């Protein structure tokens, strides 16, 4: 005999931005380097191509350039891409006439990568973000602007830009198709609406009906019990991933606190002032 410890299934979330911000500044740990960064939502078409692998740092540059031009980017912006992220994010060099940017690219990219893996609200992956590295004030001595200095500065700048712009949490939404006797369709609709879902379509198939709808993945843990209870076990259904949707503002603080608690983090996310420095 052995004890089995169970828990509810884990739901993966995502973080994103819904608006842009003006450039913010963050300094390196030694205070000798300054990175200025802003962020804005990435065009959905480009984000999709990044996630499908049509666009990446490993693809032929001419092919990538043609795809980006087709999505509305100009030649100058395309040439200034510093890093593509397969989660659907990009970092662009917006600096002009600044020294040491080229040799500092890897260090700056490392901070960007870290934030794309773990966003500011609840350390979930970022998606659909376009970061623009607008200005750079480096120390002249190479010893004072290495990875150990520029990596953390870049991370802080990306975090500060995200929190300034305002981040949202996305949850997975599932498509659901329920086959049920026609006289019980109303019961299924009631279940879905009670779980923040909705009915999208209904089709009659003989004595049965097919109810097509959607609901958040986090609301499916007790779906089986609800369906059996409301339909006397006469409903069958299947679900599949549909899309990422924004967690309602009324539920955001609770969702963030729950995710952070599960990860062993402090209940409140960091404030923007932790990442932004003054001149």
CA–CA gap between residue 153 and residue 148 (Å, rounded): 9
Name the H helices within the chain: 44-52, 61-70, 75-79, 101-117, 147-165, 185-194, 223-231, 249-262
Residues 48 and 106 placed together within one structural domain of the fold: yes
Residues 126 and 241 placed together within one structural domain of the fold: no
CA–CA gap between residue 125 and residue 163 (Å, rounded): 15
Q: Confidence band (pLDDT; 50, 70, 90) for 86?
A: very high
Q: Confidence band (pLDDT; 50, 70, 90) for 8?
A: confident
Residues 143 and 44 placed together within one structural domain of the fold: yes
Residues 124 and 215 placed together within one structural domain of the fold: no
DSSP 140: S
CA 70 to chain centre: 24
Question: What are the two backbone dihedrals, phi and then psi, of residue 113, each rounded to the nearest 5 degrees?
Answer: -60, -40
* Average pLDDT of span 113-140: 98
103 in a structural domain: yes
CA–CA gap between residue 169 and residue 256 (Å, rounded): 8
Q: Is the pLDDT of residue 141 over 90?
A: yes
The domain tally of the chain equals 2
Residues 159 and 174 placed together within one structural domain of the fold: no
Q: pLDDT at position 145, please? A: 93
* Average pLDDT of span 211-215: 98
Q: Which domain holds residue 27?
A: 14-165+267-274
Ramachandran class of 138: left when φ > 0, alpha when ψ lies in -120 to 50, beta otherwise: beta
Q: Measured between alpha carbons, how far is residue 81 from residues 89, 105, 264 in Å? A: 11, 11, 35
255 in a structural domain: no
257 in a structural domain: no
* Average pLDDT of span 201-213: 94
**In the β-sheet with 129-137, what is the strand arrangement from edge to edge?**
24-27, 34-41, 129-137, 89-93, 81-85
Q: Confidence band (pLDDT; 50, 70, 90) for 11?
A: very high
Q: Confidence band (pLDDT; 50, 70, 90) for 218?
A: very high
Q: pLDDT at position 206, please? A: 86
> Over pLDDT 70: what percentage of the chain?
100
251 in a structural domain: no
3 in a structural domain: no
| Widest CA span in the chain | 79
Residues 44 and 143 placed together within one structural domain of the fold: yes
229 in a structural domain: yes
Buried b (16+ CB within 10 A) or exposed e, 141-166: eeebbbeebbbbbbbbbbbbbbbbbe
Residues 20 and 129 placed together within one structural domain of the fold: yes
260 in a structural domain: no
Residue-wise pLDDT for 231-267, tens only, equals 999 999 999 999 999 999 999 999 999 999 999 999 9
Residues 40 and 129 placed together within one structural domain of the fold: yes
Q: pLDDT at position 112, please? A: 99
Q: Confidence band (pLDDT; 50, 70, 90) for 66?
A: very high
Residues 217 and 107 placed together within one structural domain of the fold: no
Residues 194 and 60 placed together within one structural domain of the fold: no
262 in a structural domain: no
Instruction: Report the SS3 class of residue 99.
Output: coil
Q: pLDDT at position 89, please? A: 99
Q: Is the pLDDT of residue 24 over 80?
A: yes
Residues 141 and 223 placed together within one structural domain of the fold: no
Please report, for the domain that includes residue 205, its CATH number. 3.30.70.240
Residues 125 and 81 placed together within one structural domain of the fold: yes
The rounded mean pLDDT for the chain is 96
Please report, for the domain that includes residue 61, its CATH number. 3.30.230.10
Helix (H) or strand (E) segment spanning residue 129: strand 129-137
């Amino acid at each position: 005999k052995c004890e089995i410890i169970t828990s509810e299934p884990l739901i993966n979330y995502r973080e994103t931005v819904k608006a842009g911000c003006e450039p913010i500044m963050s300094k390196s740990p030694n205070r000798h380097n300054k990175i200025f960064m802003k962020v804005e939502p990435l065009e959905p078409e480009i984000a999709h191509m990044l996630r499908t692998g049509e666009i990446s740092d490993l693809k032929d540059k001419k092919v990538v350039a043609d795809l980006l031009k087709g999505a509305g980017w100009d030649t100058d912006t395309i040439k200034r891409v510093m890093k593509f992220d397969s989660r659907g994010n990009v970092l662009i060099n917006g600096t002009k006439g600044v020294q040491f940017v080229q040799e500092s690219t890897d260090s700056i990219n490392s901070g960007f990568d870290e934030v794309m893996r773990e966003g500011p609200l609840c350390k979930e992956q970022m998606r659909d973000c376009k970061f623009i590295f607008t200005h750079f004030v480096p120390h002249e001595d190479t010893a004072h602007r290495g990875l150990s200095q520029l990596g953390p500065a870049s991370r802080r700048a990306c975090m500060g830009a995200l929190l300034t712009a305002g981040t949202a949490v996305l949850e997975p939404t599932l498509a659901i198709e329920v086959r049920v006797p026609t006289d019980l369709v109303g019961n299924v609709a009631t279940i879905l609406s009670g779980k923040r879902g909705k009915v999208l379509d209904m089709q009659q198939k003989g004595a049965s009906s097919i109810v097509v709808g959607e609901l958040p993945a986090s609301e499916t843990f007790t779906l089986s019990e609800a369906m059996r209870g409301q339909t006397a076990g006469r409903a069958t259904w299947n679900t599949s991933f549909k899309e990422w949707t924004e967690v309602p503002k009324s539920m955001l603080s609770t969702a963030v606190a729950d995710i952070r608690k599960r990860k062993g983090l402090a209940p409140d996310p960091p404030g923007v002032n932790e990442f932004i420095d003054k001149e």
